[in-house]
Amino acid sequence: MTTLLKGATLIEIEPPSVERADLRVDKGKIVARGASLEPLPSEEVTELGGRLVMPGLVSAHHHLHAGLARGLPRSSGFIDSLALLEQLETALSLDDVQAAAAVGGLEGLCAGTTTVFALHASPKVVPGSMGRLAHGLNDTGIRGVLAYEISDRAGIVSREEALEEVTGFISRARGRFRGAVGLAHLGDTSDEALAAVKAIATGTGALSLINVAEDPREETQSLERFGAAPLERLFAKELIGEKTVISQAVHFSWPQLSELLMRGAWVVHAGRSNMNGQTGLATPSKFGVRACLGTDVMSLDTLAEAQVASLRTRDAGQPIDILRFIANGHRLASAAFGQTIGPLREEAVADLVVLDYQPPTPLTSESLSSHLLHGMASQHVESVMVDGMWRLWKRKPLSVDVAELARASREAAAAVWARLPR
């Protein structure tokens, strides 16, 4: 049965536009758009009464398991933050992985994030971890591009298990999920690991999600151990290209960043996490035409991420075009799924967010970015459709028990905290 959304105010991100129009959705896609579409027989009609409808948002870099660290006491500073996340990852069980994914995905759904690119690590429970990650996220209804983080930090056996886990998940992922291969901790990740990642990426055609240049010690460690900086090693292994998603990129020099951009990589800015972890000041204004936003270890709220990124870069005297960053998230998701995600046009995937936002000033194509940055917030997200199905309706998730997910997550957090070194 088709769904007709009547009387919506449609928001397009790039080029920006605001238009009163109807949308018809069938089999997960938008099949018609018009000023006044006539209902078809037996069609489900949803009267929106002028409410805003915008494309679902995309977080291009996130750690779903990091939500279990919320509330943990920690010292200030990036190195302590990084150590805490690594300790948490080592303490995860498979049940913890699933619980964190479910509650994190729900948080994203309620904030209007409909696609997440998630980088995962759980060195003590590698086999089965990707399936449990997908299971938890699937319960909420949002789509995910999921990668296990390949590194040598937990030893060769764990690394080989991770490579098998990644390969298996990439081959199995369907529907709202895609598999990717991940890389991190490049200060101590061997050339053998890089070569294995290259082989998987080449053999499967999957994206590579690479966390690099967040830790200021990473380059020194890589130079001491391997005689080359992390980015040079990635170039040498031909791991940087149009299917590479680079996250963080805080400590690149301009020549390094320039070479990265020339090779066509996507570059993800996670301003809230950079500020929280005191990683240093990134320069997203130099991230090129494929720059997008990620939420990293913060809440899966891409709109909040956009607002902070805009304010942070403006304060640094290097403002960014936040609409371009949001639209690039849609382009990246489209590339990952092989479908058009983002534009509210015919043949695009029906990932939509309905906002109960009453603009206090005229909302036009010229003022859209101002409303996004200074007015709209997750509190205005009323309903969310993913792949043509309502997943959030009138602020009520339709496929999960919110209280039960929160309870499971609290139990998982307590169990993980009890396993952390004291």
Q: Tokens 């010690």 map to which residue?
A: 217
Cβ neighbours of 131 (radius 10 Å): 18
Identify the bridge partners of residue 4 per DSSP, sorted by sequence position.
24, 45
Q: Whole-model pTM?
A: 0.97
Start-end of H helices in 118-253 = 129-140, 156-172, 191-204, 218-226, 230-236
**Tens-place pLDDT, residues 271-300:** 999 998 888 889 999 999 999 999 999 999
DSSP secondary structure, 81-148, as one string: HHHHHHHHHHT--HHHHHHHHHHHHHHHHHTTEEEEEEEE--TTS-TTHHHHHHHHHHHHT-EEEEEE
Cis ω on the peptide bond leading into residue 360 (within 30° of 0)?
no
Q: What does each C-alpha distance from 23 to 10, 35, 36, 175 come to in angstroms?
A: 9, 9, 9, 23
Nearest to 245 by CA among 329, 175, 164, 310: 329
Q: Give the pLDDT confidence score for residue 421 in this predicted structure.
A: 86
- Token digits of residue 184: 């991190």
How many angstroms separate the Cα of 53 from the Cα of each of 111, 371, 390? 14, 14, 13
DSSP secondary structure of 251-270: S--HHHHHHHHHTT-EEEE-
Show me where the domains of the chain are located.
3-55+343-397, 57-336
Decide if 269 contacts 282 (C-beta within 8 A).
Answer: yes
Residues of the chain with pLDDT under 50: 78-79
Interatomic CA distance for residues 195 and 27, integer angstroms: 40
In whole angstroms, give the CA distance from residue 363 to residue 369.
10
Residue 82: per-residue pLDDT = 78
Type and span of the H or E element at 353: strand 352-355
User: Distance between the two ends of the chain, CA-based, in angstroms?
Assistant: 56
The CATH homologous superfamily for domain 57-336 is: Metal-dependent hydrolases (3.20.20.140)
Q: Which amino acid is present at 409?
A: S
Separation of alpha carbons 38 and 6, rounded Å: 9
pLDDT value, residue 144: 98
- For 98-137, write each residue's pLDDT tens digit: 999 999 999 999 999 999 999 999 999 999 999 999 999 9
357-377, pLDDT tens digit by residue?
Answer: 999 999 999 999 999 999 999
CATH level 3 topology of 3-55+343-397: Urease, subunit C; domain 1 (2.30.40)
Whole-number pLDDT of residue 84: 84
How far is residue 188 CA from its own chain's centroid? 25
Note whether 252 and 260 are within 8 A (CB). Answer: yes
Q: Give the span between the Cα atoms of 228 and 221, in whole angstroms.
A: 9
Q: Which residues contact 91 (CB under 8 A, 6 or more apart)?
A: 124, 416, 417, 419, 420
pLDDT of residue 47: 97
Tokens of 190: 């061997």
CA-nearest of 43, 52, 56 to 3 is 43
CB 187 within 8 A of CB 218: yes
pLDDT at 74: 64
What pLDDT does 78 receive?
Answer: 46
Residue 272 CB-density burial (10 A; 0-12 exposed, 13-18 middle, 19+ buried): buried
